[in-house]
Amino acid sequence: MQKDNVIKRLQELYLYDLYGFRLELKPLAELLNIGEILNCVATGVYKGRRRMIAVTDYRVLVIASSVLAATEVFIIQRSAITSYSVKKRLIGSNLHLETAKETYVFTNTQKRILDLFLWALGLPVKQFDT
């Protein structure tokens, strides 16, 4: 997918003003498969580094990118997520994703994004066509 398509999707989701200029957009565009739909994007701190969390209809992509450090990416298959929740706070809301192997806690997420994030995770998981 091209970065322009990712930016267009962010505009459709009313997220462009929050994430339209982040460094993670280029790696995100490169990671998305043809036909994969981006449903939500958020940012949070995980293991001491700010990361972008992108929910698609197949998976959750977690990307950390900066000018001075190498881009880090890890992928969580949506079918592997056993539970998810959010804690809304005035400052520093949290997002929790749990799989059978690990629990991911992203801190300092933006409160206004969490309802959309829960909606995106609640959508049916699509299977890859073989």
Domains of the chain and any CATH numbers? 3-122 (2.30.29.30)
Predicted local confidence at residue 120, as pLDDT: 93
Predicted local confidence at residue 130, as pLDDT: 43
What are 14-63's pLDDT values in tens digits? 888 777 788 888 889 999 998 899 999 999 999 999 999 999 999 999 99
Predicted local confidence at residue 84, as pLDDT: 94
What are 58-106's pLDDT values in tens digits? 999 999 987 777 889 999 999 999 999 999 888 889 999 999 999 999 9
Could you give the CA distance from residue 3 to residue 69 in angstroms, rounded to a whole number? 21
Predicted local confidence at residue 65, as pLDDT: 86
Among 80, 54, 70, CA closest to 62:
54
Among 124, 117, 60, CA closest to 88:
117
Q: Around 74, how many Cα atoms within 13 Å sit in the side-chain half-sphere? A: 6
Could you give the CA distance from residue 75 to residue 61 in angstroms, rounded to a whole number? 5
pLDDT higher than threshold 60 for residue 129? no
Predicted local confidence at residue 1, as pLDDT: 67
